[in-house]
Amino acid sequence: MSIADLRSTPMRVLHGLVVCALVAVLTGCPPPGQNNNGNGSGNDNAVGNNNGTDNTNSGGSNDNGAGNANGGGNTNQNGGANDNNNGSGNDNGSGNDNGGGGIENANSNNNGGSGGGNGNDNGDGNGNDNGNDGPAPTGVVLEMVAMTGDAVPEQSGARFTRLGVPVVDAAGRVAFWGLFENGLGNGGLYVWDGSQLDRVVDDDPQSAGIVPSRDTDDFFGTFVADANLPDPLALALVWGSEGRLLFASPIDGETDSTGIYRWRASDSDLVRVADLEQFTQLFRDELGNVALFNNFRQPAVSDGGIVLFASSYTLAGNGSISSGSGVFTSNGLSVTTIRDTQISRESVPDQSSNAIFAGFDSLTAQNPAGDGLFQAVYAGGRGSRGVFLLRGSEVFRVIDNRPNSSFPGLPAGAIVGSTNARYPAISTSNGAIVVVTELTVNGQARDTILRWSWATGEWTEIVGVGGTDADTLLSGVNESGEFIFLANDRPNLTDGQTVRVLDGSLPAPLAGNTIDWPATTGAINSAGRALLHYTRSGGRPGLVMFTGAQTLLVIDSATFAVLDDVFEVTTVSAPERDRPGRSGAFNDRDEVVFLVRTDGADDIQGNDDDEFAIFIARGES
More confident residue, 318 or 559: 559
- Model pLDDT for residues 348-390, shown as the tens digit of each residue: 999 999 999 999 999 999 999 999 999 999 999 999 999 999 9
Nearest Cα residue to 272 out of 281, 280, 263, 284:
263
pLDDT of residue 80: 34
- pLDDT bracket for residue 103 (50, 70, 90): low
Q: Which residues contact 160 (CB under 8 A, 6 or more apart)?
A: 146, 147, 148, 149, 150, 152, 178, 179, 180, 612
pLDDT at 98 over 80: no
pLDDT of residue 287: 83
| Prediction pTM value | 0.82
pLDDT of residue 368: 94
- pLDDT bracket for residue 466 (50, 70, 90): very high
HSE at residue 49, side-chain half, CA atoms within 13 A, is: 23
- pLDDT bracket for residue 8 (50, 70, 90): low
Which has the minimum average pLDDT: 12-21, 307-316, 398-407, 559-568? 12-21
Rama region for 594: left / alpha / beta (φ>0; ψ in -120 to 50; rest): beta
Alpha-carbon torsion (606, 612, 614, 615), positive or negative = negative
505 burial (CB, 10 Å; 0-12 / 13-18 / 19+) is exposed
Cα–Cα distances (Å) from 212 to 126, 412, 552, in that order, read: 36, 53, 44
User: Across all residues in the chain, what is the average pLDDT?
Assistant: 82
Which has the minimum average pLDDT: 82-96, 225-239, 446-460? 82-96
Residue range 476-492: mean pLDDT, rounded: 97
Cα–Cα distances (Å) from 41 to 38, 50, 304, in that order, read: 9, 9, 16
- pLDDT bracket for residue 521 (50, 70, 90): very high
- Tell me whether the omega of the peptide bond preceding residue 222 falls within 30 degrees of 0, making it cis: yes
- Can you tell me whether residue 252 is helix, strand or coil? strand
pLDDT of residue 349: 94
> DSSP characters for 24-63?
TTTT-PPPTT-------BT---SSS---SSB-----S---
Residue range 502-523: mean pLDDT, rounded: 93
> DSSP characters for 551-569?
EEEEEETTT-SSSSSEEEE
* Neighbour tally for 445: CB within 10 Å: 11
Strand pairing partners for 487? 470, 490
pLDDT at 600 over 90: no
DSSP H/E element including 471 = strand 470-473
Asked if 254 and 241 touch (Cβ cutoff 8 Å), the reply is: no
Rama region for 285: left / alpha / beta (φ>0; ψ in -120 to 50; rest): alpha
> DSSP characters for 439-466?
EEETTEEEEEEEEEETTTTEEEE-B-TT
Q: What are phi and psi of 21, to 5 degrees?
A: -60, -35
- Model pLDDT for residues 128-159, shown as the tens digit of each residue: 444 456 789 999 999 999 999 999 999 999 99
- pLDDT bracket for residue 58 (50, 70, 90): very low
- Model pLDDT for residues 35-48, shown as the tens digit of each residue: 333 333 334 433 33
- pLDDT bracket for residue 71 (50, 70, 90): very low
- pLDDT bracket for residue 67 (50, 70, 90): very low
Distance, in Å, from the CA atom of 38 to the CA atom of 239, rounded to the nearest integer, reads 24
Which has the minimum average pLDDT: 28-37, 141-150, 304-313, 510-519? 28-37
> What percentage of the chain exceeds 90 in pLDDT?
67
pLDDT at 73 over 80: no
Cα–Cα distances (Å) from 188 to 42, 160, 275, in that order, read: 28, 10, 18
Q: Which residues contact 121 (CB under 8 A, 6 or more apart)?
A: none
Residue range 314-325: mean pLDDT, rounded: 87
Q: Which amino acid is at 581?
A: G
Distance, in Å, from the CA atom of 584 to the CA atom of 398, rounded to the nearest integer, reads 25
Nearest Cα residue to 91 out of 126, 61, 60, 123:
126
* Neighbour tally for 353: CB within 10 Å: 10
Question: Helical H runs in 144-275?
Answer: none
pLDDT of residue 131: 46
Residue range 112-121: mean pLDDT, rounded: 36
- Can you tell me whether residue 580 is helix, strand or coil? coil
- pLDDT bracket for residue 229 (50, 70, 90): confident
pLDDT of residue 132: 56
Alpha-carbon torsion (384, 5, 414, 463), positive or negative = negative
pLDDT of residue 293: 81
pLDDT of residue 3: 87
In which order are the strands placed within the sheet that holds 470-473?
A: 470-473, 483-487, 490-494, 499-501
pLDDT of residue 374: 98
Distance, in Å, from the CA atom of 302 to the CA atom of 390, rounded to the nearest integer, reads 12
Which has the minimum average pLDDT: 274-283, 562-571, 582-591? 274-283
pLDDT of residue 92: 38
Which has the minimum average pLDDT: 117-121, 145-149, 295-299? 117-121
Residue range 558-569: mean pLDDT, rounded: 94
